[in-house]
Amino acid sequence: MTTWLVTGGAGFIGGNFVLEAVARGIKVLNLDALTYAGNRDTLASIEGDPNHVFVHGDIGDRALVAQLLADHRPDAVVNFAAESHVDRSIDGPAAFIQTNVVGTLALLEAVRDYWKALEGRSKDGFRFLHVSTDEVYGTLGETGLFTETTAYAPNSPYSASKAASDHLVRAFHHTYGLPVLTTNCSNNYGPYHFPEKLIPLVIAKALAGEPLPVYGDGKQVRDWLFVADHCEAIRTVLAKGRVGETYNVGGNAEKQNIEVVKAICALLDARRPREDGKPRESQITHVADRPGHDRRYAIDASKLRDELGWAPKYSFERGIAETVDWYLDNQPWVQRVLDGSYRLERIGVAA
């Protein structure tokens, strides 16, 4: 049986990844510190499943990670654990350095020692996959795409901390031979997304009749990747990626933020019109731009397509419609995040 150690598997992408992996018969050891972004409600459907072992702990706890590796002997480690919100990194960068840099280093050291002691096929087949972001490349002008050889030029404390972690992962391959893979993906969206990020935030505020905050002119461009496509890309890289390589993952869906907000308003108006019949676009409010706000990100994912045969299956139109429907159908999940009760789940969670 295949066993994966997944870190950050109570978060948005990690949670989706763990649900899909367990559904595919993979045994998942899920290590998550349950920061504000960790939500065990997301994992409710696999609570008690023998193929899902949840461990409340920190990737920076090297002794804990070493013990888990020794006890469960995973075939791969997939590292999602991170502080991930750019605005929070502007208010308090230290936590980002602690988890994304210091924590990743401790994780790498524990995994390196575990891998070194493996033998034969277990050693040859072992992989450490590090999940990173296209934000490490900085910002683009009106044209151009990020490729795997674009120079790193991070502009926020978040992206700087992710860049540092990517470099550590690379160094552990070149220095110690650890069989690593790195993926740099664009903005994800989909089910179980914490409502501080643009898409779930706008859905929640639009339904509540509140102003919809849009930074600056709203013309910042992001490439949007549906989370199920991203999870499939990670499984593909894990299975077929060349050790030591990095792969960009994109959704082929460049949109301005304001276009995304308007698309959500239109979908909600069609599915659940406001009582006064007014279009939700009337709730849009432009607010002062984020400092250091990157203007445009866009991904060239042709290496992943040409080498490993992966391409996104979701158009933005399909993905955003499914996302809006998911939020409408799963209001109790959203409400428990908004009222804070999802955090009570942590009480009594065994370490």
Residue 280 vs 301, nearer CB to ligand NAD? 301
Distance CA 68, CA 58 (A): 12
HEC string of 313-327? Answer: CCCHHHHHHHHHHHH
Residue 347 carries which DSSP code?
T
Smallest separation, CB 349 to ligand NAD (Å): 12
Residue 229 vs 283, nearer CB to ligand NAD? 229
Query: Is residue 134 among the annotated active site residues?
Result: yes
Smallest separation, CB 285 to ligand NAD (Å): 23
Smallest separation, CB 278 to ligand NAD (Å): 31
Q: Which two tokens stand for residue 154?
A: 């991070």
Residue 281 vs 345, nearer CB to ligand NAD? 345
User: What are phi and psi for residue 125, nearest 5 degrees?
Assistant: -85, -10
User: What's the Cα-to-Cα distance from 179 to each of 56, 76, 232, 263, 268, rounded to whole Å?
Assistant: 26, 10, 20, 42, 45
Smallest separation, CB 197 to ligand NAD (Å): 7
Smallest separation, CB 345 to ligand NAD (Å): 12
Residue 114 vs 146, nearer CB to ligand NAD? 146
Residue 103 vs 218, nearer CB to ligand NAD? 103
Smallest separation, CB 253 to ligand NAD (Å): 13
Close Cβ partners of 132 (under 8 Å, ≥ 6 residues apart): 162, 165, 166, 182, 183, 184, 185
Query: Is residue 289 among the annotated active site residues?
Result: no
Cβ 226 vs Cβ 190: under 8 Å = yes
Give the SS3 label for residue 4: strand
Query: Is residue 297 among the annotated active site residues?
Result: no
Distance CA 194, CA 212 (A): 16
Selected catalytic residue, list 158, 247, 297, 314: 158
Question: 238, 231, 179, 244: which is closest to 2 by C-alpha?
Answer: 238
Find the residue with minimal CB distance to ligand NAD.
Answer: 11
Selected catalytic residue, list 41, 58, 135, 232: 135
User: Which residues contribute to the site for ligand NAD (CB under 6 A)?
Assistant: 7-8, 10-14, 31-35, 37-38, 58-60, 80-84, 99, 103, 131-133, 162, 185, 187-188, 194
Cβ 190 vs Cβ 322: under 8 Å = yes
Buried b (16+ CB within 10 A) or exposed e, 305-325: beebebebebebeebbbbbbe
HEC string of 86-146? Answer: HHHHHHCCHHHHHHHHHHHHHHHHHHHHHHHHCCHHHHHHCEEEEEEEHHHHCCCCCCCCE
Element containing residue 237 per DSSP (H, E) = helix 227-240
Residue 134 vs 280, nearer CB to ligand NAD? 134
Catalytic residues: 134-135, 158
